[in-house]
Chain A
């Protein structure tokens, strides 16, 4: 077995995470073995796993990891999370869900005499829209009076990004992606108005914290090592207060680029039905365990894919309003759909320490199939990416799928071209088919309507 260290797991000396094929392992170092044993034997770990709040864990033999497990007290094996996503890829509702989940896990831990040593958003992953806490070594014995060590981190990685969207109408994704630790209170505070500070939560956790931070920097060197204390009642009060506050946050109403796209576009209903049937046919034949919906909009065609038997879908879109629609469509259903923000012309890079702490999209994006509907013209025309490069990028993510080609005469393409010079003489159906045909077998194609949109089902699994 060839195990590889997860480059994102180095920060906590308590243990590391390893991938060995499809298996995921975690070492538990002797320093924290006692905390882990209490967490395991006291019932909290099994309770959280049983309720679906914490990813599963079973103790495994260390020998399979060879030297990688040397010195560890335990090795845990975890089920693989279907798709690793990062907070800077989450839609607002996913981020809010993650924040509430973190607080719920912390409150449950306090009930059982434990606390969380950190509050990193990277410890939350999703199965569809269902959040999962993934770090079993974040749980330590709670000591009466200890402060909330993860408080600043919680503010930077959960509260402040949510406030940016809820109060100022700005998506936090780009800022968060450029600042992997999140948004600091002293960065957010100057952007907020006095009205925002009428909220106790904002006044304390953002403005006061920022002021105290600045004040401490001005004060210079430490004058004492006295540690502040926080009674348990106060800690619970903070966590519950934040939970009540965050549960009410919604994105500030803003007109999005295509928030109403699915219901207000250039397609006739008959075309949409034909598209759903075509996607359904491919999905029924391929039976993908994981399907990518690139440019998922509000999830119409993901719904068709689920109906046809797709087990799991990750939907990507550039538009935050569309992602919110998609979240609401699938949340609470039995169909696991994960709505992620993606600028396809600039996907998440490999970044963080040594540029390997957080993986780039290409490294994580391996699906059984994909659908890319009403997508290629936005990249090929609006972003000037040559069609062969668009297809290479798409086909690298999944061996088979459906791609839609809208011709130049299509109203949506015309709308894109209306704002710019037509420098795309090679944007044609013939060229598209030739490029795709050179890369994959074309299983079936179908014109949708009078305006000539073309759906193509490709399969590169046998054509190399």
Chain B
């Protein structure tokens, strides 16, 4: 599973983080730091999913709906 292949990447990222530059002491600090850290990953994953969907579409006559398209 793709999720399971890239978890190590995030682990490395966390380990490699320098001292937090914006260590607000409110409850959302961890959330902010996380979003700053994974923003690039999240973008890459979206792009990856998009290319994967296009690649799959090339090899199938009736393209399957993605989860994002089928949300209700």
Contact = CB atoms under 8 A, between A and B. Distances in A.
B48 to A, nearest CB: 10
A227 interface: yes
B56 to A, nearest CB: 16
B23 interface: yes
A240 interface: yes
Dominant secondary structure of chain B at its interface with chain A = helix
A209 interface: yes
A204 B3 CA distance: 11
B55 interface: no
Dominant secondary structure of chain A at its interface with chain B = helix
Contact of B39 (A184, A201, A227, A231): A231
B35 A147 contact: yes
Given A107-B71, A198-B3, A200-B3, A222 B22 contact: yes
Contacts of A224: 21-22
Contacts of A112: none
A243 B28 contact: no
Contacts of B58: none
A243 B67 CA distance: 9
Nearest to A210: B30
B23 A219 contact: yes
B60 interface: no
Given A219-B19, A222-B22, A244-B67, A228 B7 contact: no
A191 interface: no
A212 B14 contact: yes
A412 to B, nearest CB: 41
Interface stretch (A148-156, A292-300, A383-391): A148-156
A215 interface: yes
Contacts of B3: 198-201
B67 A247 contact: yes
Interface in A113-148: 147-148
B34 A208 contact: yes
B43 interface: yes
A255 B61 CA distance: 44
B34 A233 contact: no
Contacts of A236: 46
Interface in A278-325: none
A147 B32 contact: yes
Contacts of A217: 25, 29
5 contacts: A104-B72, A184-B27, A216-B30, A228-B32, A240-B68
Interface of B: 2-4, 6-7, 10-11, 14, 17, 19-25, 27-40, 42-43, 45-47, 67-68, 71-72
